[in-house]
Structure 1
Amino acid sequence: MSRFRLIKAVLGPLLRLFFRPRVEGAEHIPGTGPVILAGNHLTFIDSLILPLVTGRQVFFIGKDSYVTGRSPKGRLMAWFFTGVGMIPVDRDGGRGGVAALMTGRRVLERGDVFGIYPEGTRSPDGRLYRGRTGIARLTLMTGAPVVPFAMIGTDRVQPGGRGLPRVRRGERITVRFGTPLEFGRYEGMDRDRYVLRAVTDEVMTEVMRLSGQEYVDMYATKARAA
């Protein structure tokens, strides 16, 4: 049994027991071939829940600091995060964005599922912020369809993205997937900034529709800094 299947077999029942996740539209995720899952990002546990509620393993970018610890706790974190599909990348350097983009491209070119949060960071206040165009470049470079998704309620289970998730009576998490988006009409235009923005905005419009969040036409990093 692979590490991913082992982790899913252990944590999946616990997730269902404590948080009773409602999964809607999972049939929209293709059973084979490359696909990008693009959604909102409310709290840290989003990246733990997403792989556990999908039929296919989801690979995603994570901070390399999550897997570099040498203590017993650090080694356990590294085993867990890489097991569920996290690919560590140094995102703080000047070339971090390029490294993340190329990593996603490799995942898709081998026919796997790549998960991405176009906002680039967690929402500072529960609203949906402007998407960064890396998602557009990925789908145009690889031809992979984009399945938008929405996390609903995870910020109430783990407010602020810190500490252990809270088990609260009557609280439920919903993961909602939309129909795949295809952008073949823009083939060969992955360097056109107007096309990249149009594709990104189309994806974010679908995420907004699925999540019901208020949209803010500002990058989340700028809002967080302010």
Structure 2
Amino acid sequence: MLYTVAHGVIPPLVRAVWRPTVEGLHHVPTTGPVIVASNHLSFFDSVVIPVVVPRKVVFLAKSDYFTGTGVKGAAQRAWFEGLGMLPVDRDDTKAAIASLDTALEVLRRGEAFGIYPEGTRSRDGRLYRGRTGVAHLALTAGCPVLPVGLQGTEDIQPVGSNRPRLRGVDVTVRFGEPITVAGEYDGVPTGRARRDLTDRIMTAIAGLTGQEQAGTYNERAASTT
């Protein structure tokens, strides 16, 4: 109920403020499970993608966003729940592993699950090597992966800024052709299959964004917001 009400308000508001350019929307499957795999430049990535996709996309968000108190905490919780986000404790290893089970449950319900294969935001604009969790999900669920390329979201709220910019920001969201996995990795050792599929996904994302590929993993900073 909360999602239905909030989703009728938040997407039009976000589109009116930032006016994102959207390309390739016809590639988004209208039904069935799909993994929406994107590059990661900003906290706002998880806001922009759900408001331009014409179906619910579930992302995981830091549990801190759901535990605030008072009016501000309630408003923040309503915002994230209204966008279809689910809480996860990123600093708890067991919880992080359990988040994969949460993702699989979302996919088994026939919904879309959003993920950033880089693991954390790129702070230098480069595209980092993908972690194989995205491939684990796709191969386990047998569902397609929709590559997404974001540009400009890092300018909405630059690192160090405590409030979003409402003007002078050009945001582009590009959707690529879905990458199918059903039957493609039969007989391939699990580790090799996950690595190959992950690399295919990252190559597709790079083609949408034009980012320089770092060739290494992106490590999360000691303190993030």
Normalising by structure 1, we get a TM-score of: 0.91
Paired residues, number: 221
CA contact (8 A) 1:37 1:116 kept: yes
Equivalent in the alignment of 1:199: 197
CA deviations on 1:19-48 (whole Å, 9 max, x unpaired) are: 111111111111111000000110111111
CA contact (8 A) 1:158 1:166 kept: yes
Q: C-alpha root-mean-square deviation of aligned residues, in Å?
A: 1.7
Post-superposition, which runs of at least 4 consecutive aligned residues in structure 1 deviate over 4 A? none
Equivalent in the alignment of 1:16: 15
CA distance 1:61–1:26, change in 2 (3 Å): same
Q: Matched residues in 1 for 2:160 and 2:186: separation?
A: 38
From the two aligned structures, give the one with the greater helix fraction.
1
CA deviations on 1:63-90 (whole Å, 9 max, x unpaired) are: 1111011232112111211121111112
CA contact (8 A) 1:43 1:161 kept: no
CA contact (8 A) 2:88 2:96 kept: no
Q: Matched residues in 2 for 1:39 and 1:11: separation?
A: 21
Equivalent in the alignment of 2:120: 121
Equivalent in the alignment of 1:89: 88
Q: Which runs of 5+ in 2 are unaligned?
A: none
CA deviations on 1:129-149 (whole Å, 9 max, x unpaired) are: 111100000000001100000
Give the C-alpha shift of residue 167 in structure 1.
2.4
CA contact (8 A) 1:140 1:187 kept: no
Normalising by structure 2, we get a TM-score of: 0.92
SS in 1 for 2:91: coil
Q: Which runs of 5+ in 1 are unaligned?
A: none
Identity of aligned residues (%): 47
CA distance 1:128–1:74, change in 2 (3 Å): same
